[in-house]
Amino acid sequence: MRVPLYLIIIALFVASCGEYQKVLRDDDVARKYSMADSLYQKGKYKKALKLMEQIVPAYRGKPQAERLMFMYANTFYNLEDYYLAGYQFERFVTAYPTSDSVETAAYRSAKSYYELSPRYSLDQKDTYKALEELQAYINKYPNSELRLEANTLVTELREKLEKKDFEIAQQYLNIEDYKASIAAFENFITDHPGASLRKNAFYGRLEAAYKLAINSIPALVQERLLTAKGYYNSFVKYYANSDLKEDADKILAEIDERLVEEPTS
């Protein structure tokens, strides 16, 4: 009597599961290592990880440790557990600086922190960590095949930080905290010299300074209008042909009109 194929498959599956559970409960670390390696190669990372977690301490200092520790870190990476992947890859780089896998480990450590970087509106601690790790990788491996990709990731992370800093300055302007807005826009201009939003920061500083002036006590209005006019001059020095020039000119016209009305001291 022929046995249906699906019954054979089920039987093999049950047998393999039983073997896995047996090895999982076994005290034979070499057997655990062999099965973890086999499962890892097949992409069965969750099962492999359970075995690795049991044997990593036993293999520290042994010849197999280097390969095991790379697989261990890479298993977290493939399971998208980037906190542990970044940490374990960092440990690998420190422990095996001459390994053939050290460059890959260094990159995946940095890439793990990149994956952890949240959207720009949230706390950017992991973004700063990712930038630090990626820049360290680029500096250490200037001829790496992954250099272009690393530079692309760095650019993306910097743009995220730029957007966050700009939004902070803009939020101060929206809530009418003009002094804080001016300071934040000035910090943005200093900290992000090549930013795509730099033009908007120059304009935002002008707008905040003008609104600060017209909402000041009479004794401070003229001085602050003149400061705002100075910010207009800075804007047109760099962005005379920008799409914000017309709006900046409107602010200048209002500044000049108010200066004429203000009594000279």
Count Cβ neighbours within 10 Å for each residue of 131-167 and write b for 16 or more, e otherwise.
bebbeebbeebeebebeeebeebbeebeebbbbbbbe
Read off the tokens for 246. 């017309």
Q: What is the largest CA-CA distance in the chain?
A: 111
Instruction: Indicate the pLDDT class of residue 138, thresholds 50, 70 and 90.
Output: very high
Give the model confidence (pLDDT) of 100-110 as tens digits.
999 999 999 99
Give the model confidence (pLDDT) of 54-89 as tens digits.
999 988 889 899 999 999 999 999 999 999 999 999
Q: How confident is the model at residue 4, as a pLDDT? A: 54
Exposure on the CB side of residue 159, measured as CA atoms within 13 A: 7
Q: Are 134 and 108 in contact (CB under 8 A)?
A: no
Give the model confidence (pLDDT) of 200-235 as tens digits.
999 999 999 999 999 999 999 999 999 999 999 999
